[in-house]
Amino acid sequence: MAKLETIAGPNAGVSYPIRNTGVTIVGRDETCDIVLAYRSISRHHAQFICEGDEYFLEDMGSVNGTFVNGEKVSDRVRLYDGHRINLYEIPLVFRGDHYIAGSDSHETAEIEETSYELDVVHDLSQPSMNSITQQKRRLKYLLAINSKLAGSLDIDEILPKVLDILFEIFPQSINGHIMLLDEEGKLIPRAFKQGRDDDSSVLTMIPSNSKLAPEVIRKKQGVLRDSDEVSESVLDEPVCSTMCVPLLSPSKKPLGAIELETAEEINRFLDEDLEVLSSVADMTGLAIAYAKAHTESLARQKYLQQMEMAHEVQLRMLPRNRPDSPEYDFADFYCAAEQVGGDFFYYRWLSPTRLVIALGDICGKGMPAALKMAQMTVRLHHIMETAKSLKSAMQRLNEASFTDIDELEISMTTLVVCVLNIKDHQLSIANAGHIPPICLKSENQNLVHFKHAGDGLPLGVAIDAEYHPATYQLQQGDVVLLCTDGATEAMDTNGNLYGIEGICQSIKKADPSAQAVTNQIVQDVRTFSIGQARQDDMCILAFGRK
């Protein structure tokens, strides 16, 4: 009866009978006629066909291939006594029906043994056909990895692809995982594969318990360990060989690690395997770095687009038109430190003779402050329309601010609200921790700061805070200025602040009109802070009795 003989390894000398009629299937699956329980063997790897006195071999679409005398089987191959058969790295010899022990009809025994020894020790000076084929295959896989990595900028897509190809390069692998460092420097598994027939999967962010990965990341050098040094895998499975290599960015910054494990004694990982894995890690590290840069670029672009949209929305929430009054003129200026900010101003007619003028500063900058600014504008509109008095309006605004702490994580707003009666020219002011309005008096050009004991704390500081408005009489030619601390806290290159004194000097330099005063302050603040980045939003509002 024809048979297959194992010619080397721990099963050397073991023979497997081949049926003299029909088909004999070889593979890893228990239903096969000849079961070879190796990871490198496909479930249904190859089949031997007997037709009369002739035997043929066919590969059944195996992952790692079938070889006869060093040539890969692609079509049906007729077998002769003594033919060397490799089911990937499992060395066998075919013995025909008429084989007599001790004879060698094709004088291949010596060649077979020599060939196997070359395969085992990987003598690169005289490589066998199988080792050459193996090197070509691994080169092909490296090129495949390079191609796949070049076609993706998604880390969660890249890593499973890498593991799938690594299991093709190293079919003896039983476990493989790729770990990346998080922002805190902890190793987090991001992709895992167990067994050749399992698809690689993306893992949840659970810290890794790998023993080798921290070492290779620290040393920035791959490590190969055998069973006497590493006895269990990360899944508590027995292993006989483990190799782990670091993932490095182009600047050699550690990004993570790749780790592969095998349980096959005759197919332990070798030094050249570690070199191949290191090459894969180099390509993967570059891909991860580019993917992260791409993600950051997209996030930055998306952020800028959102900020631009928010900027447009915020500008639309600010008054588009100034109040139209034959008795008064108005001017305003707004500039955010970022694309959106927390400063705001507000106009609204309560009646044909009563106008609400408000200016505020939300604690903070950017999107949270902009959201609170939008909310405050809507709240001002509602409360000022329904409040019985300016005092009660301020109390309601303060109470409402405490509901924003959990929603927006912003708890404080400075706000000054004025109600101008254009008929009797009285100005009522309620101040919640804001810079007091400054009035340029026309009769003597003196500056008067509209502040008094009834001014209260910023909104959102104390829920029972009280706000007591004060009323002032405006004379013809008087100009009133409101501004935020973006003007007073503008800084020069020496660290000096522009301050209230600088604002007062700008007011005195300007012509006595709302627009002239506003323009002068903006110009002086910009000149003062040349060479310094703007640190805060700046909002200015002025109005004057004609």
Distances (CA, A) of 460 to 246, 264, 359, 365: 51, 68, 16, 17
- List pLDDT tens digits, range 349-361: 999 999 999 999 9
Render 490-504 in DSSP notation, one character per residue.
-B-TTS-B-HHHHHH
- List pLDDT tens digits, range 18-31: 999 899 999 988 88
Q: What is the model's pLDDT at position 250?
A: 87
Pull the structure tokens for residue 67.
């070889």
Domain boundaries, the chain: 3-95, 132-196+211-230+237-293, 318-545
Between these two residues, 203 and 110, which has the higher pLDDT value? Answer: 203
48 CB-near residues (< 8 Å, 6+ apart): 2, 4, 18, 19, 23, 24, 26, 55, 56, 57, 79
On the question of pLDDT at 88 being above 70, the answer is yes
Distances (CA, A) of 354 to 303, 335, 377, 476, 508: 41, 28, 18, 18, 29
Where b means 16+ CB within 10 Å and e means fewer, 52-73 reads eeebebbbeebebbbbbbeeeb
CATH superfamily, region 318-545: PPM-type phosphatase domain (3.60.40.10)
- List pLDDT tens digits, range 240-298: 889 999 999 888 999 999 999 988 777 788 888 898 899 889 888 888 888 888 878 88
For residue 290, how many other CB atoms are within 10 A of its CB? 17
Render 68-95 in DSSP notation, one character per residue.
ETTEEP-S-EEE-TT-EEEETTEEEEEE
Residue 49: pLDDT band with limits 50, 70, 90? very high
Average pLDDT of the residues in 481-498: 93
On the question of pLDDT at 437 being above 80, the answer is yes
Between these two residues, 172 and 418, which has the higher pLDDT value? Answer: 418
Specify whether the CB–CB gap between 521 and 507 falls below 8 A.
yes
Of 179-188, 212-221, 360-369, 465-474, which range is least confident? 360-369
- List pLDDT tens digits, range 512-535: 999 999 999 999 999 998 877 766
Residue 304: pLDDT band with limits 50, 70, 90? confident
Fold type of domain 3-95: Tumour Suppressor Smad4 (2.60.200)
Q: What is the model's pLDDT at position 272?
A: 86
- List pLDDT tens digits, range 160-204: 888 888 888 888 888 888 999 988 888 888 888 876 555 555 444
Please state which CATH class domain 132-196+211-230+237-293 belongs to.
alpha beta
Q: What is the model's pLDDT at position 471?
A: 97
